[in-house]
């Protein structure tokens, strides 16, 4: 049986960007139509409803946020925001996530071939994740998998008998599609003395700083975009900067983060696998790992490494995920000790970090 192509509507006032996105998505199994602004887009939606909309925010006649609000109130369709990296653009993109957009990706860099290829991978993955966030009818077959790097490309595996010279706990969290809201709920529920945290949320550069700043204004814990050498201390959550891998490292009894370049790992930079592998090596049984909503398998292998190193591990349950891909992969690999709904993730992390009574085992 022939797989139905994914119908995508690209809404952007730049003809060059429309052409680039059309080429990227056509090559990855999508049927693409375009519109230069939201007014034309509404007319096209009336004639043929797309599976996913890729939306710019700064356009003539009607801005992207107004269009998004109108769409979500009348006929919700999964929307991926494709935005530039300017400061005001990052704030608008975060507001778009609040208004119901599924993902945010950076506009493709058209000048350098390597950047264009990476952009193509990230944009394609975001569009297909958005489509699966509202599955209707038969599940689509997976798209062809492009060459990918493992965590070995960025960080070495844990030494089997690494010496542990601290009992301080650290929490490592990974998330993708739907993760911005999940992380907000989790971090808002934590007390100001919660264990130090390092978080990877798949999101482009610049957006991660705005995301961290927004969370810092909402939460009792301090939240900041991670910088190389930042200490991981109680009451602080560090968000991996977009387009940079972030690793947990330890010197004696002190934890810190290392922020570095490298290839896409598990199709992402930052990669959850890279963070989790580094947590296994640096913290071992003193770590707690959590994998949240998202498409794909980034983090599944790294969480298994954490579990093998003695860490407690948690996955968000299917019912509360926007996309159950990443938690499902981790569960199927035997990497998860506890599967809990989103409202219970924060108390579960605290209980495990503080060594309290064991919770119910993972459901397979």
* pLDDT at residue 118, rounded to an integer: 78
CA 364 to CA 216: how far, in whole Å? 35
pTM confidence score: 0.84
pLDDT at 88: 61
DSSP H or E segment with residue 166: none
Answer whether residue 145 is part of any domain: no
Q: Say what the pLDDT of residue 252 is.
A: 85
Nearest-angstrom CA–CA distance, 271 and 235: 23
Active-site annotation, residues: 176, 202, 298
DSSP 234-267: TTEEEEPPTTSEEEEEEETTEEEEEEE----BTT
Residue 145, both tokens: 């998998």
Q: Are residues 273 and 316 in the same domain?
A: yes
- The CA distances from residue 191 to 79, 149, 195, in Å, are 33, 37, 9
pLDDT score, position 92: 86
96 and 192 together in one domain: no
CATH code for position 187? 3.40.50.180
pLDDT, position 156: 58
Work out how many domains the chain is built from and give that number.
2
Residue 363 inside a domain? The answer is no
Nearest to 273 by CA among 162, 361, 156, 170: 156
Task: Using DSSP, state whether 294 is helix, strand or coil.
Answer: coil
Is 210:245 a contact under the CB 8 Å cutoff? no
pLDDT value for 25: 94
Q: pLDDT under 50 in the chain at which residues?
A: 1-2, 135-147, 160-164, 356-364
Query: Is residue 146 a part of any domain in this protein?
Result: no
Q: State the pLDDT at residue 87.
A: 56
Instruction: Give the pLDDT of residue 246.
Output: 98
Specify if 59 maps to a domain.
Answer: yes
Q: Could you list the residue range(s) of the whole structural domain that residue 92 is in?
A: 6-132
pLDDT at site 265: 93
> pLDDT digits over 98-111, tens only?
899 999 998 876 66
Last residue of a domain, one of 132, 166, 182: 132
- Indicate whether 193 and 283 sit together in one domain: yes
């Amino acid at each position: 049986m022939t797989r139905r192509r994914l119908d995508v509507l690209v809404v952007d006032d730049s003809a060059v960007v429309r052409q680039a996105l059309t080429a990227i998505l056509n090559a990855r199994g999508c049927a693409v139509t375009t519109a230069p602004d939201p007014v034309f887009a509404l007319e096209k939606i009336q004639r043929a409803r797309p599976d996913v909309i890729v939306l710019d925010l700064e356009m003539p006649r009607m801005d992207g946020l107004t269009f998004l609000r109108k769409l979500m109130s009348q006929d919700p369709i999964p929307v991926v925001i494709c935005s530039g990296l300017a400061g005001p653009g990052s704030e608008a993109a975060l507001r778009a996530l609040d208004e119901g957009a599924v993902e945010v990706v950076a506009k493709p860099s058209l000048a350098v071939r390597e950047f264009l290829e990476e952009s193509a991978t990230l944009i394609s993955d975001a569009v297909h994740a958005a489509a699966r966030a509202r599955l209707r009818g038969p599940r689509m077959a997976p798209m062809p998998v492009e060459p990918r790097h493992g965590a070995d490309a960025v960080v070495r595996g844990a030494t089997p008998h690494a010496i542990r010279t601290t009992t301080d706990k650290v929490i490592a969290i990974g998330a993708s599609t739907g993760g911005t809201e999940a992380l907000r709920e989790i971090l808002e529920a934590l007390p100001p003395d919660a264990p130090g945290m390092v978080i990877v949320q798949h999101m482009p550069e610049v957006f991660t700083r705005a995301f961290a700043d927004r969370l810092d204004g909402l939460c009792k814990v301090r939240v900041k975009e991670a910088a190389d050498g930042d200490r991981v201390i109680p009451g602080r959550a560090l968000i991996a900067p977009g387009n940079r891998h972030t690793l947990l490292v330890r010197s004696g009894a002190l934890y810190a983060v290392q922020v570095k370049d490298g290839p896409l790992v598990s199709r992402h930079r930052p990669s959850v696998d890279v963070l989790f592998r580094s947590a296994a090596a640096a913290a071992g049984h003193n770590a707690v790992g959590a994998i949240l909503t998202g498409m794909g398998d980034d983090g599944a292998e790294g969480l298994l490494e954490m579990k093998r190193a003695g860490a407690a591990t948690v996955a968000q349950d299917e019912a509360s995920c926007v996309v159950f891909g990443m938690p499902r992969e981790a569960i199927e690999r035997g990497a998860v000790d506890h599967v809990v709904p989103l409202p219970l993730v924060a108390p579960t992390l605290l209980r495990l970090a503080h060594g309290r009574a064991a919770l119910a085992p993972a459901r397979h």
